[in-house]
Structure 1
């Protein structure tokens, strides 16, 4: 069985990131669904993973260290996306009386607050993030995004597995 290279894993992961972004942008610009702050953070995680995949595909390291480095960085971005999507789903599962009130928009917060405060406010959630605007097969968009991140995790996990399975030269 032939070993899958870092470049092949990276190109597969990059293709899936492009697919995820096309769906997100299509739902926004064609479907008219405005992304909430947590949706935007999920997009940032997809773009961060895509950036790692692009660099890894261009570099295509042959050694264990390079494969482990790129696999680890991409996996960190994907895990960040999983955490944000999971938090988004949790907010959507709250009873209406426990949903946090809507806060200021993300653009406004980015203009006036330090990034650390913006992250804390967004991750604490707001009423707009708890709204369910779209369901497909009974699953909301953050649920589908979570599924997408789990599938996307296969690429960096494949890189890491390849790095650890690679035989050392004699």
Structure 2
């Protein structure tokens, strides 16, 4: 069980560090997150909290449950990140709708499903690449992060099963 706890604690720390880095970019570099970026942050926060719960509650019966739940959350986050990558690299910016109202306003005035559909459609602000690391934009890094989290989740599961 120690392998299980340490592994999931490491995943939680990774998720927390992605959020801290996103807040650093927002506060010090003055990068405003678009709605898709906010959804990716929610994905990392959810994955991190669930991974922390998996570390805190390592019941033998739950060792099959946690990887499945974490994989579903990771796939949702990766899907949002993949859509963001597609908007940035593969869709002509002139075909994107202009910047609409903020996410807070949309969540207050529209049903959740309509907000989610509107956010995934993308806006002009989602197609802008403001910052990159090694030539990769933040959504590409988020996609790699979610993919790595999913792989690490199953790696922890099989690593723990061998013990």
TM > 0.5 between the two? yes
User: 1 CA distance for matches of 2:63 and 2:34?
Assistant: 34
How far does residue 8 in structure 1 lie from its aligned partner after superposition? Answer: 1.9
Q: Give the corresponding residue for 2:141.
A: 144
Q: Give the corresponding residue for 1:20.
A: 18
Aligned 1:20-59 pairs, distance under 5 A? 20-59=18-57
User: 2 CA distance for matches of 1:69 and 1:82?
Assistant: 20
2:83 is equivalent to residue 87 of structure 1: yes
Any gaps of 5 or more consecutive residues in structure 1? none
CA RMSD between the two structures: 1.9
Q: Which moved more, 1:66-75 or 1:83-92?
A: 66-75
User: 2 CA distance for matches of 1:91 and 1:44?
Assistant: 19
Q: Give the corresponding residue for 1:71.
A: 67
How far does residue 145 in structure 1 lie from its aligned partner after superposition? Answer: 1.2
What whole-Å deviation, never above 9, does each CA across 1:41-89 have from its counterpart, x for those lacking one? 000000111111111111122x2x3111111111111111111110001
Give the total of aligned pairs: 162
- Conservation of the 8 A alpha-carbon contact between 1:7 and 1:58: yes
What whole-Å deviation, never above 9, does each CA across 1:118-143 have from its counterpart, x for those lacking one? 11110111111111111222211111
Per the alignment, in what secondary structure is the counterpart of residue 153 of structure 1? helix
More helix by share: 2
- Conservation of the 8 A alpha-carbon contact between 1:46 and 1:81: yes
How far does residue 4 in structure 1 lie from its aligned partner after superposition? Answer: 6.4
User: 1 CA distance for matches of 2:2 and 2:76?
Assistant: 25
Any gaps of 5 or more consecutive residues in structure 2? none
User: 2 CA distance for matches of 1:154 and 1:145?
Assistant: 14
User: 1 CA distance for matches of 2:162 and 2:68?
Assistant: 16
User: 2 CA distance for matches of 1:118 and 1:69?
Assistant: 30
Aligned 1:84-123 pairs, distance under 5 A? 84-93=80-89, 94-123=91-120
TM-score normalised by the chain length of structure 2: 0.91
Structure with higher Rg: it is 1
